Amino acid sequence: MKNLTLNKNKNVRKCRVCSKNISPFMTFGKMPIANAFLKKKDFKKEYFFNLMPCFCKNCYSFQLFKQPDPKKMFHKNYAFFSKTSKNMRIHFEDFYKWIKKTYLLKKKTPFVIEIGSNDGILLENFAKKGIKHLGIEPSANVAKESAKNGVNTLVGFFGKNIIKKVLSNYGKADMVVLANVMCHIPKINEVAKSISEILNKEGYLIFEDPYLLDVLKKVSYDQIYDEHVFIFSALSVKNIFEKYDLKLIDAIPQETHGGSMRYVFTKKLEITESPRLKRILEKEKKYKIHKSETYRNFKKNCEFSKVNLLKKLQKLKKLKKNVVGYAATSKSTTILNYCKINKNLINFITDTTPIKHDTFSPGMHIPIKPYKDFSEIDVDTAFLFAWNHKKEIMKKEKKFLKKGGVFLTHL
Ligand code: TYD
Ligand code: ZN
């Protein structure tokens, strides 16, 4: 961890997609695991790594230079439950309805696999309708949650070993879906190959993830953290999956996670690209998503954003305002550690997830408190770390706003 400045010669690795040499174009500095909320007794053994994004000029993928061991990130105490947001529940119900209407209606007994099914927020919709399904989820605690709602789940990491089991017990699938999971997978070629093998010859792969163009345009650098080993563009996913006979035929923008993209691939290679996909690919090209200069600019924009944010927070401190964080998101870990914001600037962070309560934020050790600690005291400014849930939160916080409370974001 000594060398945090970039040394081009030292910082070279093979691209996870195409194996060409790649180097980071910037560093966010020393970073803990984004979702590793911790107790005081564990401060001393906290794990840190250098968070550095890379852009591959050969295959156009945006990826992390180093990702911590997945076992450090996804385990039996994984702190992320999808169902904490009402709007996300609605989103996944709509996602289910759209899949059913667009792709499964003609199938008599479709079989759907979800990789990284978390607490079952998407699959429970299939389960309720008696549709044959299987969730594959590495974090046992969240998988257990999904079983309560009748979701059939296998606990484990998707890959060569698990597909043998799935093929012999269930047969090939009509559809593989993933939501906010593909971008977590470092061995993307192996997974793409396995997905291609597990799908029948008319099968579809559909996944959605935070969208690179949104991150670049909004300077929402907080999407960059340990779990997100990739941030995809349509151009990059096309390159990855077409090698495994999965043809990209559509891309549909989504509002979730502050700007996501849903990609549709099929094994039926005769299907043509949608006009919408063509427009999206054009738009990416116009933004120069395939050029290194775009990432040099992004770096400058991040630095500018950091200076600006610190100025604002320091001003609030001078004015003796009570500033608290709203929602202990994974994303907040990048902002707090990159900008070195500790409890001098933010008193505590409120969050609705019980297992995060009475812990401290990774790296900067800001206390995490239940929602009532926020609603029952006078807060002047709430730093909205869950800016992607702004609509839902603004509705909920009318009283806070009426009292003169202000929301702040880094964007
Ligand atoms: P999300 O943006 O999905 O998090 P991440 O950056 O980790 O992907 O937000 C989920 C977190 O935000 C979760 O810890 C619960 C918290 N949260 C609240 O505390 N209050 C709210 O009203 C909402 C919508 C989320
Ligand atoms: Zn590459």
pTM for the full model? 0.93
Nearest Cα residue to 408 out of 353, 337, 356, 335: 335
Share of the chain above pLDDT 70, in %: 95
Query: How far is it, in rounded angstroms, from Cα 35 to Cα 77?
Result: 10
Average pLDDT over residues 75-95: 79
Tokens of 286: 């116009």
| Interaxial angle between packed helices 160-169 and 188-198, expressed in degrees from 0 to 180 and rounded to the nearest 10 | 10
Non-local (6+) Cβ contacts of 335 within 8 A are 221, 222, 309, 341, 385, 410
Residue 266 DSSP class: E
| Interaxial angle between packed helices 292-318 and 330-338, expressed in degrees from 0 to 180 and rounded to the nearest 10 | 80
CA distances for 103 relative to 106, 131, 231, angstroms: 7, 13, 26
Minimum mean pLDDT range among 140-144, 195-199, 309-313, 395-399: 140-144
pLDDT at 3: 43
Counting beta carbons within 10 angstroms of the beta carbon of residue 293, is it exposed (0 to 12), middle (13 to 18) or buried (19 or more)?
exposed
Which of ligand 1's atoms lies nearest the C-alpha of 258?
2
Nearest Cα residue to 191 out of 116, 252, 134: 116
Whole-number Å distance, alpha carbon 331 to ligand 1 midpoint, is 9
Q: Grade residue 384 by pLDDT with cuts at 50, 70 and 90.
A: very high
Query: How far is it, in rounded angstroms, from Cα 173 to Cα 189?
Result: 19
Tokens of 38: 């911790």
How far is residue 318 CA from its own chain's centroid? 35
CB of 390 sitting under 6 A from ligand 1: no
pLDDT at 188: 96
Whole-number Å distance, alpha carbon 372 to ligand 1 midpoint, is 16
- φ/ψ (deg, to 5) at 159: 175, -170
Whole-number Å distance, alpha carbon 286 to ligand 1 midpoint, is 33
Q: Point out the ligand nearest to the CA of residue 334.
A: 1
pLDDT tens per residue across span 157-194: 898 889 999 999 999 999 999 999 999 999 999 999 99
